[in-house]
Amino acid sequence: AAALLLLCTAPVSAAGITAETAAEDIIGYNLKKSGAGSIQQWLDGGLSDTAGLSEGYVLALKKYAPTLDYSGCADAFAAYSESDGFTSAAASRQKTALALIACGRKSGGYLDTALEDTLGKQGLMTYVYGLHLINNGIPGGEQKATQTVKTLLERQLSDGGWALAGKNGDVDITAMTLQALAPYYGKSAAVKKAADSALGFLSRSQQSDGGYKSYGTETSESASQTAVALCALGIDVFSDSRFIKNGNTVIDGILKFRLDDGSFCHKTGEGTNSMATEQAFAAFTAVIKGGNIMLFSGSVPALDESALTSDSAVSSGTQGGGASEKPSGGSSEASDKENTVSSGSSSASGDGSSVQSGSVSPSDSSENGAPGEETDSPYSPEDSSAETSGGSGVSSEPDAEKGFPAAAAVIIIVLAAGAAAALVILKVKHKI
């Protein structure tokens, strides 16, 4: 009986809290905050009323509580997509379309033009969220599946990761890209090769407490995005040795940011952060339910494997300085090396509901005037050349820049030593 009870018990983190308990506490925190008496009331009230800000919760809730009535929420998101207040930020528009699909809509309204309207229009993340739409049966997606996957594969960096700028991978961006590529992991050799390399990057980047850093700072969001990506690829976060450091799992890395009221902070020592709490809920949902929590349709399009390894499907382009691809359905795209996230746009402390999942900085733009990159990562690569890769300690400075100061220092030391030796000889020889 004891053995059976042990088998039926959910894995417990080092903090002594299960994913189920943490998820329930996040819901409890939100119900209290919104004044709702049930998850259904929260869905029909606070989440529907804040369309444009609440997509992350709706997507996770659809997996966490699939039997709820999502029709009212679908109506609210549809009305938002047709309103004058509908955001112009491409990735945010894509997340609204995803929420509509999760709530049961398959076509009609904005869904019929969403892919053409957004795919590749604001850099890397609009290919990532665009692929999520394609994976979920968005109208017109089958014709763009191979091209979109190829674009993402071509933008993978040499360390196995992806980033908005610079030569080193970023944990958040890598994890989010893996989530979109995950449905093809067992179907495409090219995708599997890229994903395995990215998993190596994420394994090397994990900290000793199980958590993750992005741009040198350890946050709950970085660990949460990684947990969602691992689950999407079918990896058990509690048993896979690649993602356990000093006995700590990625779930331990998230729980260190848990506050007494069930919410989560962005960095330790800070107060409640809306994005951190939302993404933690998505991570716990992925662990509880298993699999890819961003898939809501029956099947994904088939890929043309030969096109993925050829140079013909998409024009050549690499992250951080290469020529950019021309986006599907459009003629202008911001170059990734110039697309940045607004610094601090989603990392402010407090539980203000104005924090949007996936924000864009109006001050950051490319040379051709295209708007800045959007992402769910709360960081701005203000100086990508000074970034370290996910805590790996590998600087992204060019080798020549690193080598010159060191060589100069050696030369100076040698010259100084030679001068000192010459002075000693003179003193001995001339008795001075």
Coil, strand or helix at 288: helix
Supply the pLDDT for residue 19: 96
Q: What is the mean pLDDT of residues 227-246?
A: 98
**Is residue 399's pLDDT more than 50?**
no
**Is residue 270's pLDDT more than 50?**
yes
| Position 416 confidence tier, pLDDT thresholds 50, 70, 90 | low
Residue 146's Cβ-side half-sphere holds a number of Cα atoms within 13 Å equal to: 15
Q: How far apart are CA 209 and CA 193, in angstroms?
A: 28
Q: Which of 54-68, 113-127, 330-344, 394-408 has the lowest mean pLDDT?
A: 330-344
**Is residue 290's pLDDT more than 80?**
yes
Helix 55-64 and helix 90-102: axis angle, to 10°? Answer: 30
Mean of the per-residue pLDDT values of the chain: 79
Higher per-residue pLDDT: 408 or 80:
80
6-53 tens-digit pLDDT: 333 458 766 689 999 999 999 999 999 999 999 999 999 999 999 999
Q: How far apart are CA 264 and CA 277, in angstroms?
A: 5
Q: What is the mean pLDDT of residues 404-425?
A: 50
| Position 322 confidence tier, pLDDT thresholds 50, 70, 90 | very low
225-234 tens-digit pLDDT: 999 999 999 9
Supply the pLDDT for residue 336: 35
Residue with tokens 């610094």: 343
Rounded to the nearest 5 percent, the helix, strand and coil shares of the chain are 50, 5, 45
For the chain, percent of residues with pLDDT exceeding 90:
66
Supply the pLDDT for residue 346: 36
Supply the pLDDT for residue 297: 82
**Is residue 383's pLDDT more than 60?**
no
CB-based burial, 154-185: b 16+ in 10 Å, e otherwise: bbbbebbbbbbbbbbbbbbbbbbbbbbbbbbb
Supply the pLDDT for residue 373: 66
**Is residue 117's pLDDT more than 50?**
yes
246 in the Ramachandran plot: left (φ > 0), alpha (ψ -120 to 50) or beta?
left
273-285 tens-digit pLDDT: 999 999 999 999 9
Q: What is the pTM of this model?
A: 0.76
**Is residue 364's pLDDT more than 70?**
no
| Position 413 confidence tier, pLDDT thresholds 50, 70, 90 | low
The token duo for 148 is 């979109």
| Position 335 confidence tier, pLDDT thresholds 50, 70, 90 | very low
DSSP string, 92-104: HHHHHHHHHHHTT
Higher per-residue pLDDT: 52 or 426:
52
**Is residue 398's pLDDT more than 50?**
no
Supply the pLDDT for residue 173: 97
CA distances to 229, 248, 250 from 244, in Å: 15, 5, 7
Supply the pLDDT for residue 316: 34
Supply the pLDDT for residue 298: 73
For the chain, percent of residues with pLDDT exceeding 70:
69
Supply the pLDDT for residue 221: 97
92-111 tens-digit pLDDT: 999 999 999 999 999 999 99
Supply the pLDDT for residue 86: 98
Q: How far apart are CA 17 and CA 261, in angstroms?
A: 14
Supply the pLDDT for residue 11: 80
| Position 418 confidence tier, pLDDT thresholds 50, 70, 90 | low
Residue 360 CB contacts under 8 Å (≥ 6 apart), including other chains: 89, 91, 92, 122, 341, 342, 345, 371, 372, 373, 374
Q: Which of 1-5, 175-179, 236-240, 408-412 has the lowest mean pLDDT?
A: 1-5
